[in-house]
Amino acid sequence: MQSYTIGQAARLLGVSPDTARRWADAGRVATHRDESGRRLIDGRDLAAFSIEVGQSAGEEDDAYTSARNAFPGIVTAVKIGDVAAQVEIQAGPHRLVSLLTREAVEELGLEVGMQAVARVKSTSVHIDRT
């Protein structure tokens, strides 16, 4: 399972590294240390926490987007059927849902806790594995 540094988690959550560090220090999200002593957050833990943060985002928060409508975030759910699949990504305060083929999800190797980018064009949401 992929793990994230405090800085990477902050970028995915749309907050400063200091805010992410304070949340970790307060025990809001679990961390562990790697061989070099860096604090890491397990991808599944970050995915669950990103949903909590996204749901509590207020109206006054700035939107987390780019000029090309790319929303970097973390995969929070993957539901696979016989032919189709549904992937949810939490990108800062934004929850994006994409319906795509089962084959596409399997080729990308998408799973909860991994980093991905949702690209929105009109009513379509495309997922890029990062």
Task: Give the mean pLDDT per block of 10 residues along the chain (130 residues).
Answer: 91 88 92 93 93 66 53 93 95 90 93 91 76
Predicted confidence at residue 112, as pLDDT, reads 95
Spatial neighbors of 79 by CB under 8 A, at least 6 apart, are 85, 86, 87
Predicted confidence at residue 67, as pLDDT, reads 40
Predicted confidence at residue 31, as pLDDT, reads 94
Residue 122 CB neighbour total at 10 angstroms: 6
Q: Per the structure block, which two tokens stand in for 56?
A: 């509590």
Q: Is 0.85 surpassed by the pTM of this model?
A: no
